[in-house]
Structure 1
Amino acid sequence: MLKRTFPSPEALRRFPFGLADVAVILGTLVLLALIARIGAGTLVSFHPPDIVPNIDLNPRNLPYYAGQSTLRMFVALFCSTIFTLVYGYIAAYSRRAERVMIPLLDILQSVPVLGFLSITVTGFIALFPGSLLGLEAASIFAIFTSQVWNMTFSFYQSLRTVPKELDEAATLYHLSRWQRFTKLEVPSAMIGLVWNAMMSFGGGWFFVAASEAISVLNQQYTLPGIGSYVTAAIAAKNIPALGWAALTIAIVILVVDQLFWRPIVVWADKFRLEQSAATEAPESWVYDLLKAARIPRTIARSLTPLGEASNRFLSLLMPPRESYPAEFSRHRSDRIYDLILLLIVGVLIAGALHFIIATVGLSEVFKAFVLGLLTLLRVTVLLIFATLIWTPIGVAIGFNPKLARLLQPVVQFLASFPANFIFPFATLFFIHSHISINWGCVLLMALGAQWYILFNSIAGAQSIPTDLREMATDVGLKGWKRWQKLIIPGIFSAWVTGGVTASGGAWNASIVSEIVSWGHTTLTATGLGAYIAQATEVGDWARITLGIGMMSLFVVGLNRLFWRRLYRLAETKYHL
C-alpha cells in the first residue's frame, strides 16, 4: 500500500510560484490580449478621401473607444520619454547644440497641436498608403507634441542643476558618460521627470479630441476613440452620451493611476537626494505585488549578464569627459556660430513675412499681433492665479506623505480629466448666464494649463531633502520665513519648469478655449487662438502660417525675456 504524502509548509514556501506570481502572469496575459484586440483596429484598410465609419454613440462601444485612446496615449508617452532623454541630454551638455535646441524647443512648444496636424496629416497618410496606420500615426504624433515639451524642459533643467558634490564625485571616480547618465543624471532627475510625465500624460487627454476628430484643410478625418465620441456627442447635443463618456474617462484615469502611475511614484521615491530617510514612504499595492512576486526577480537575474555586457559596451563607446562645466564659456567661434544662426533665422523669418504680406497684407499682420496681445493678457492672468492657488497646495502635498497618498489620485484625476470634455457644459453655462466668452475662456484655458504648476510644485517639494526640512523646523522657521529660506529656494527650479510649460500649455489651450460650440451654437472670443482655429478649419494656409508664427513669436519672446532669466537664476543660485 502506497503511503500518501503532502508537502510540508517549508516545501510550500520553496514552491517556485505564489499567488503574487499568478496575479502577475494573469495580469500580463490580460494586458497583452487587450493590446492585441485594440491594436487590430489600426490595421484596417483606408483610402482617402474615404470616410472612416461614423462613431456609434451607443455606450456599449465606450470600452473599446477608451482602449483605443489609452493605447495611443501610452505609445505617445513612450516616444516622448525617448525624445526627452536624448534631446535633453544633448541640449544640456553641448554648448553649441544648446544655443539651437533650447530656442527650438521654445518654438515647438508654442506651435499649437492643430498646427502640427495641418502639416503632418497628409504626410502620414502618404507614408502608410491604403492603411489606417497613417491617421493613427498622425493622431499619436499630435498627442506626442502635447506631452513631450514639458518632460524635456524638466529633464534639461535637472541635468543643469545636478548637485555639485555628486558631479565632482562622478568625475573623481572617472565614470564614463554612460555610467554618469545611468548612475547620476537620470536618478537625480527622476522625481521631477516622473511627475512631469504624469502631468504630460494627463495633459495629453486634453488634445485627444483634436487628434481623433481631425478637421484640417477642409477635410474631415475621424478615428475611433473616446475623443471622437465626445466630438460626435457634442455635435448631436447628446447629453446622456457625454455623461457616459465622462464616467468612462474617469474610470480609465483611476485605473491608469492605480496600475501605472502610483507604482512608478513609489519606485521613484528611492531616488530622493538626501542623507536621512523620508518620514513616510509612499505606498502602492501593485508595487508591493510586483515585489512579492518571484517571476520578475527571476527574469531580472537571468538578464543581468546581458545588462552588464551592454553597460560595458556603452561605457567603452562613451568614455569619461574631462569636465562638466555648470556654465558654458564663450569663445570667438561661438560668436561666429551665433551670427550664422541669426542669419539663417533671419532668412526664414524674411521668407515667411514675404509669403504672409504677399497673400494677406500688412494689416492682417497687425491684426494678428493685437489678437496675440489679448491672448497674452489671458495667459498672464492665468499664470498669476495658478501660482497663488496651486503652489502652496503642491508644497503641502509634497511635504506630507499622508496627504500625498490621499490627494495624489485626486489631483491626478483632475489634471488628467480632459478639460474640453467639460467645455460643452461650460458653453451652456456661459450661454444661459450671459457670461462673455472673452472672460470665460480664461477659465477654460486654466482647466488645461494650471496643473503644470501644481505638479512641478509637488515634485520640487518632494525633492527638498528631509534633513533640510527637519533642520528648518529645529531652528524655528515658520510662516513666510520658512518659505523665504527653504521652500522658495527648494522648489524654484521646478516652479520655473512648471511656469514655462504652463505658459506654453495655456497658449496651446487657447486654440480650443477661445472658440467653443454646443450643437450649432458657437461662442468665439477675440484672440489669437480662435484666429488659428478658424484658419485651420477652412485650410487658409496664409493665415495658418501667420497665426502660428505670431504665437511662436509671443511664446519665444516671453521665454527669452522672462523665463530664461529665471532658469539662469535657478542654475546659479537656487539649487542644492
Structure 2
Amino acid sequence: MPSAWDGVAFCLVAGTLALVVYGARKMSAPLESVTAASISLSPAALPEYALRTTLRMFAALAASLLFTFTYATAAAKSRRAEVVLIPILDVLQSVPVLGFLSFTVVGFLALFPGSVAGAECAAIFAIFTAQAWNMAFSFYQSLRTIPEDLDEATRSFRLSAWQRFWRLEVPFAMPALIWNMMMSMSGSWFFIVASEAISVGNTTITLPGIGAYVALAIEQRNLGAVGYAIVAMLVVIIAYDQLLFRPLVAWAQKFRFEQTVGQAAPGVWLLRVLNRARLVQFALVPVQMGIEKVAHAPMSLRSWRPGRSGAGPLWLGRLWNFVWWGGWGAVALFGAHALYTELHGHIDVTEVLIAFKLGSMTLARVIVLVALASLVWVPIGVWIGLRPALAMRMQLIAQILAAFPANLFFPVAVVAILQFGLNPNIWLSPLMVLGTQWYILFNVIAGASAFPNDLRDVASNLRVRGWQWWYRVMLPGVFPYFVTGGLTASGGSWNASIVAELVVWGSTRLEANGLGSYIAKATLAGDYPRIILGVMVMSAFVTVFNRLVWRPLHAYAERRLRMI
C-alpha cells in the first residue's frame, strides 16, 4: 500500500518534471523577445530566471558527463590518442569562455534562425566550456591511477572492456568525479553573466536568467538588485545540493578503495524518502534491471594493437599510424592556414610582442595565486575530507563560496581601489583567486575522502604524527588529486583574468595590464583578429606551463604514488 512517503516522493518528482517542461517550452520563443529591454529587475521575475539558468547549467552538466566518459577514457586507454587528446584538452581549458562565445554564437544562431533556441545552445555551450575540462582531467587521472590488484582482478574474471569500464573504472573514479561535478556547477556560476548577456561586436543577446539579471544590475549600479540575485543564487545552490549532490556524495561512499570496514555514510533525507516510498521502489526495479543489463553486458571493446597474434598484419598497423598522424597533421596545417588568413594584414609583429608581454603579466598573477591557494586550501581540504560528516556539512558552504561570480564583487573592488588610491594591477588580482582556489579545495577534499582507512590506521599504530604524517602519509595520498586541482586551477585563473582584469561598475572602469583585459576589450569591440591573437597566446602560455610543470607532476603521481 502507498504511504505518506510516496506522496512526498510524487510531489518531488512531479514538481521537477513540471519545472523542466515549463523551462523547455520557454526555449522555443522568438529571438526578438530576448533583448536587454525584456529583462526586469523586479524580484518577482527572479524565480523564472533562476529556473532558466538552472536548466542551462544542468544541460551543460549532462553534456560534460558524456564528454568526460568518452574523451577522457580515450586519452587514458590509448597512448596514440593520449599524445593528441591531452594537449588539445590543455588548449581547450585555456580558451576563455568569451573566446568560445565569440566564434560559436553566430553558428548556433544560424542553426535555429529566428528562434531563441540558437542563443540557448550558445549559452549552454559556453557553460559547458566552464564545466567539462576539470571533470575530464579528474576522470583521466582516476583511470591512470587504478590500483594494480583491482586491475588484475578484473582480468582474472575475464571481464570485457565494457564490463570493466562500468564495474571498476567508473566506480573507482566516482568519488572524485562527483566533487568535480560540484566544482563544475559552482564554477559555471562564475561565467553565467557572460553566457546569458552575450555581447560580441554588433551581436547582443540577453537571455532571461540570473546572469542577465546581474549584468543589468551592474550596468544600472543597482545594489538592491545585486542582493536579490545573490539570494536567488543561494536558493538554487541549496536546492540542487539537497536534491542531487548530497545524495550522490553519500552514495559514492560505497566506492571507496579500502580493505577494512569503511565509515558509515552520513544519512541523507532524500535517500531516506526514496527508500521508504514503496511505489518509487517498485517503479525503479525495471530501471535498475535495464541499467544492470547495459552496464554488465559482455560487449567486447578490446583495443586493437598491431603486431600481436590475431591482430592483423604489421603493415596494416603501420598504415593506420600513417593515416592517424597524417590526418592530424592535415588538420594542423589547415588550422595554421586559416589563422594566417585571418590575421594577415591585421596583426603585426609588434602586436604579437605586446600580447606576449601582457600574457607574462597574467602568468605571474596565475603562479602567485595558485601557490597561495595551495598553501591555504590543501590543509583545509585534508581536514574536511578526513571527516565524512563534516564534509557533508561543508560541501554546501564550499559550493556557495565557489559559485559567487566575480561580477558581484565589482562594487567592493571599485570603491576600495578608488577610495584608497590602490594600484589596479595588484588589487584586481584577488578577483582571479575566485576562479582558482576552489578547484584545489574540491579535489583535495575528494582525495582525502577517498584515502583508505586502513592506511590511516597503520600510520596511527606506527605513531606517525606531525610533519612526518603530512610528508609520509597524507600528502602522497592526496597528491594525484592535488595535481588535477592545480592543473584545472591554472586554467580557471586564466579564464578568470578575462573578468578580473577589466572591471566595469556603471560608468566606472578599472583595468589591470594583462592578457585577460586585452581579450575582454577585443571582444567588446568585436575585433576578431585580436581575439584570435589573445586566445592563441593564452593557449600557448597554458600549454607550455602545463607541459613544464603539471604534466611531470602528474607522471610522478601516476608512477610513484598510486595505490598498489
Q: Which residue of 2 aligns with 1:149?
A: 133
Deviation at 1:286, TM superposition (A): 1.2
The CA distance in 1 between the partners of 2:560 and 2:319, in whole Å, is: 28
Distance 1:420 1:448, change over 3 A: farther
2:51 equivalent to 1:64:
no
After superposition, give the CA deviation of every residue in 1:157-184 in whole Å (9 maximum; x if it has no partner): 1111111000011111110111101100
Q: Which residue of 1 aligns with 2:399?
A: 412
Q: Which residue of 2 aligns with 1:318?
A: 301
Q: Secondary structure at the match of 1:318?
A: coil
Do the aligned partners of 2:246 and 2:392 also contact (CA within 8 Å) in 1?
no
Q: Which residue of 1 aligns with 2:528?
A: 541
The CA distance in 1 between the partners of 2:151 and 2:485, in whole Å, is: 25
Q: 1:397 aligns with which of 371, 380, 384?
A: 384
Distance 1:334 1:192, change over 3 A: farther
The CA distance in 2 between the partners of 1:164 and 1:539, in whole Å, is: 52
Q: Which residue of 1 aligns with 2:170?
A: 186
Do the aligned partners of 1:424 and 1:516 also contact (CA within 8 Å) in 2?
no
Distance 1:311 1:411, change over 3 A: closer
Identity %: 47
Q: Which amino acid aligns with 1:46?
A: L
**In the TM superposition, what are the counterparts of 1:79-478 in structure 2 within 5 Å?**
79-311=63-295, 314-318=297-301, 341=328, 345=332, 348-349=335-336, 352=339, 355-356=342-343, 358-478=345-465
Q: Which residue of 2 aligns with 1:504?
A: 491
Q: Which amino acid aligns with 2:389?
A: K
Do the aligned partners of 2:146 and 2:172 also contact (CA within 8 Å) in 1?
yes
Do the aligned partners of 1:96 and 1:334 also contact (CA within 8 Å) in 2?
no
After superposition, give the CA deviation of every residue in 1:196-241 in whole Å (9 maximum; x if it has no partner): 1110110000111000001102221100001110110111111111
Do the aligned partners of 2:498 and 2:520 also contact (CA within 8 Å) in 1?
yes
Do the aligned partners of 2:161 and 2:299 also contact (CA within 8 Å) in 1?
no
The CA distance in 1 between the partners of 2:329 and 2:555, in whole Å, is: 22
Q: Which residue of 2 aligns with 1:44?
A: 29
Q: Secondary structure at the match of 1:224?
A: coil
Distance 1:342 1:123, change over 3 A: closer
Distance 1:109 1:488, change over 3 A: same
Q: Secondary structure at the match of 1:315?
A: coil
Distance 1:355 1:321, change over 3 A: closer
Do the aligned partners of 1:176 and 1:321 also contact (CA within 8 Å) in 2?
no
Q: Secondary structure at the match of 1:175?
A: coil
Q: 1:23 aligns with which of 1, 4, 8?
A: 8
The CA distance in 1 between the partners of 2:344 and 2:209, in whole Å, is: 40
The CA distance in 1 between the partners of 2:405 and 2:192, in whole Å, is: 8
The CA distance in 2 between the partners of 1:216 and 1:206, in whole Å, is: 19
Deviation at 1:287, TM superposition (A): 1.8
Moved more, 294-303 or 360-369: 294-303
The CA distance in 1 between the partners of 2:548 and 2:318, in whole Å, is: 24
Q: Which residue of 2 aligns with 1:74?
A: 58
The CA distance in 1 between the partners of 2:559 and 2:329, in whole Å, is: 27
The CA distance in 2 between the partners of 1:157 and 1:310, in whole Å, is: 25
The CA distance in 1 between the partners of 2:304 and 2:386, in whole Å, is: 37
* Structure 1 alignment gaps of length 5 or more: 1-15, 324-330
Do the aligned partners of 1:124 and 1:137 also contact (CA within 8 Å) in 2?
yes
Do the aligned partners of 1:206 and 1:419 also contact (CA within 8 Å) in 2?
yes
TM-score, normalized by length of structure 1?
A: 0.91
After superposition, give the CA deviation of every residue in 1:383-424 in whole Å (9 maximum; x if it has no partner): 000000000000000011232233222112111232322223
Distance 1:332 1:490, change over 3 A: farther
Equivalences, count:
552
The CA distance in 2 between the partners of 1:66 and 1:104, in whole Å, is: 34
Deviation at 1:338, TM superposition (A): 6.0
Do the aligned partners of 2:174 and 2:252 also contact (CA within 8 Å) in 1?
yes
The CA distance in 2 between the partners of 1:334 and 1:382, in whole Å, is: 44
TM-score, normalized by length of structure 2?
A: 0.93
Do the aligned partners of 1:111 and 1:508 also contact (CA within 8 Å) in 2?
yes
Deviation at 1:344, TM superposition (A): 5.5
After superposition, give the CA deviation of every residue in 1:77-110 in whole Å (9 maximum; x if it has no partner): 1111111011111111122111111110001111
Q: Which residue of 1 aligns with 2:311?
A: none
The CA distance in 2 between the partners of 1:412 and 1:286, in whole Å, is: 19
Moved more, 177-186 or 395-404: 395-404
Deviation at 1:305, TM superposition (A): 4.8
Q: Secondary structure at the match of 1:516?
A: strand
The CA distance in 2 between the partners of 1:536 and 1:574, in whole Å, is: 43
Q: Which amino acid aligns with 1:261?
A: F
